[in-house]
């Protein structure tokens, strides 16, 4: 309900001729006030549709018990449930929670259908040290190893077709009848390098240690080398390099010049030696390179497949009965270089005879050439 009230407040009207004639004019002030009157406050609020919807929703929630009325006192959450539980006496009868360390109550035993009864299993997912040792022993004893593991170990008397072919090729050369090759020990050197990682997640291999030994195994060069780039992974488990080893290490450029000067004009022996040359950014003549990973006489002597790539550790154990790369301190480039030279010396006289004839064994074996 709306109403309008007009009010006039002012002085004497200037339109009266009797008062205005012959008398001085006075200042006059006129004011008009317009007042808009509305109805009651409750009625105006009820005409707001949003407020109307809010009130209906509130009443609905109060009836359902989901919303506390303004007139009711505030009750903390779940207090009425606790009071009800105490009144009924069920609060003290709550079952006791059994933790893992609680041994007062018997717990049902977990049965694993994949494990035989009485067999102890390690708590974690990693196998125990005893099981790891037994697995390592199986590698050296093919009689007790499974079929997959037994294929990795050499079996005496077992000669494959590729090995028979390699033996026939070498027998056709009649190696014992060949002229003995002259071996000058001063012209031979073995090399091995250890790398660390650089770049993203240590994916770039960088030289960190280099060892060079003579034909008899004497040390010619053995130095830690500081890479030009930032080291992001030291690969200590394999390389044996730790951050403290590279603090006062030799710079890479200086080490590269010294190693290149030592290897110049010599026959370089190494195991997968192309990796060592790549880390040194060095190129050596193939005619003066002996890679023990690619000498078929070593694989045949160890009882392995002639085309198989055998690690230095396995070859040393099978041929020399020497254990290298043991322990958790990582590899040693000096130890690996000496083991490489010892392996080469085991077949040096026969292999140098084959190389002296100019016979391309791998080319003939793979059918790439006839001689």
Contact partners, residue 262, CB within 8 Å, separation at least 6: 189, 212, 220, 221
Region at 95 (left for phi over 0; alpha for psi -120 to 50; beta for the rest): beta
268: closest CA among 297, 252, 291?
291
Compute φ and ψ for 146, nearest 5 degrees. Answer: -75, 175
Q: How far is 218 from 225, CA to CA, in rounded Å?
A: 20
pLDDT band at 358 (very low <50, low <70, confident <90, very high): confident
Contact partners, residue 369, CB within 8 Å, separation at least 6: 360, 363
Q: How far is 156 from 141, CA to CA, in rounded Å?
A: 12
The residue-averaged pLDDT of 233-246 equals: 92
CA distances from 187 to 183, 214, 260, 297, 342 (A): 8, 9, 14, 22, 15
Q: Which two tokens stand for residue 26?
A: 């006075």
pLDDT band at 207 (very low <50, low <70, confident <90, very high): very high
Residue pair 202/196 in contact (Cβ under 8 Å)? The answer is yes
Q: How far is 318 from 153, CA to CA, in rounded Å?
A: 9
- Tens-digit pLDDT profile for residues 273-286: 999 999 999 999 99
The residue-averaged pLDDT of 252-276 equals: 95
- Give, for 351, the enclosing helix (H) or strand (E): helix 333-356
Per-residue model confidence (pLDDT) at position 140: 47
pTM: 0.58
- Per DSSP (E only), the strands in the chain are 3-10, 30-37, 188-198, 204-214, 219-226, 231-233, 250-251, 267-270, 289-291
Torsion over CA: 297, 302, 307, 312 (sign): negative
36: closest CA among 28, 44, 48, 45?
44
Beta bridge partners of 210: 193, 223
Share of the chain above pLDDT 70, in %: 63
Per-residue model confidence (pLDDT) at position 64: 81
pLDDT band at 359 (very low <50, low <70, confident <90, very high): confident
pLDDT band at 344 (very low <50, low <70, confident <90, very high): very high
Per-residue model confidence (pLDDT) at position 160: 78
Per-residue model confidence (pLDDT) at position 149: 35
The residue-averaged pLDDT of 9-17 equals: 48
More confident: 82 or 357: 357
pLDDT band at 249 (very low <50, low <70, confident <90, very high): very high
Most confident option among 41-55, 102-116, 184-198: 184-198
pLDDT at 214 over 90: yes
pLDDT band at 19 (very low <50, low <70, confident <90, very high): very low
More confident: 20 or 303: 303
Compute φ and ψ for 217, nearest 5 degrees. Answer: 95, 10
Per-residue model confidence (pLDDT) at position 213: 97
- Tens-digit pLDDT profile for residues 95-111: 555 555 455 555 566 55
More confident: 136 or 73: 73
Per-residue model confidence (pLDDT) at position 123: 47
Contact partners, residue 274, CB within 8 Å, separation at least 6: 291
**Of 3-7, 53-57, 242-246, the least confident:** 3-7
pLDDT at 35 over 80: no
Per-residue model confidence (pLDDT) at position 17: 47
Residue pair 203/350 in contact (Cβ under 8 Å)? The answer is no
The residue-averaged pLDDT of 289-301 equals: 93
pLDDT band at 59 (very low <50, low <70, confident <90, very high): confident
- Tens-digit pLDDT profile for residues 144-153: 444 433 344 4
**Of 45-49, 260-264, 289-293, 320-324, the least confident:** 45-49
The residue-averaged pLDDT of 282-297 equals: 94
Torsion over CA: 127, 335, 281, 247 (sign): positive
Per-residue model confidence (pLDDT) at position 36: 55
Per-residue model confidence (pLDDT) at position 31: 57
- Tens-digit pLDDT profile for residues 113-126: 555 555 555 444 55
DSSP string, 103-127: -SS--PPP--TTS-TT----SSSSP
């Amino acid at each position: 309900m709306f109403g309008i009230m007009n009010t006039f407040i002012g002085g004497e009207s200037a339109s009266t001729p009797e008062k205005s004639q012959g008398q001085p004019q006075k200042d006059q002030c006129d004011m008009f006030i317009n007042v808009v009157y509305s109805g009651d406050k409750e009625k105006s609020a009820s005409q707001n549709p949003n407020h109307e919807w809010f009130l209906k929703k509130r009443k609905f929630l109060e009836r359902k018990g989901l919303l506390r009325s303004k007139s009711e006192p505030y009750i903390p959450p779940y207090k009425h449930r606790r009071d009800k539980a105490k009144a009924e006496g069920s609060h003290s009868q709550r079952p006791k929670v059994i933790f893992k360390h609680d041994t007062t109550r018997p717990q049902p035993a977990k049965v694993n259908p994949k494990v035989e009864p009485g067999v102890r299993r390690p708590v974690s997912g990693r196998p125990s040290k005893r099981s790891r040792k037994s697995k390592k022993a199986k590698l050296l004893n093919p009689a007790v190893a499974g079929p997959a593991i037994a294929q990795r170990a050499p079996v005496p008397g077992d000669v494959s077709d590729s090995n028979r072919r390699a033996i026939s090729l070498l027998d056709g050369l009649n190696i014992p009848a060949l002229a003995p090759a002259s071996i000058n020990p001063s012209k031979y050197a073995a090399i091995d390098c250890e790398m660390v990682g650089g770049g993203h997640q240590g994916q770039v291999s960088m030289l960190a240690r280099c060892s060079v030994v003579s034909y008899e195994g004497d040390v010619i060069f053995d130095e830690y080398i500081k890479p030009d780039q930032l080291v992001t992974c030291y690969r200590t488990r394999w390389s044996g390099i730790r951050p403290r080893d590279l603090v006062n290490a030799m710079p890479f450029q200086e080490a590269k010049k010294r190693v290149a000067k030592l290897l110049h004009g010599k026959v370089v022996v190494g195991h997968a030696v192309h990796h060592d040359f790549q880390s040194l950014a060095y190129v050596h003549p193939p005619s003066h390179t002996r890679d023990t990973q690619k000498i078929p006489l070593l694989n045949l002597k160890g009882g392995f497949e002639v085309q198989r790539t055998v690690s230095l550790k396995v070859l040393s154990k099978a041929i020399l009965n020497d254990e290298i790369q043991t322990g958790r301190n990582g590899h040693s480039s000096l130890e690996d270089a000496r083991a490489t030279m010892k392996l080469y010396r085991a077949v040096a006289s026969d292999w140098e005879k084959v190389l002296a004839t100019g016979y391309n064994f791998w080319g003939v074996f793979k059918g790439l050439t006839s001689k």
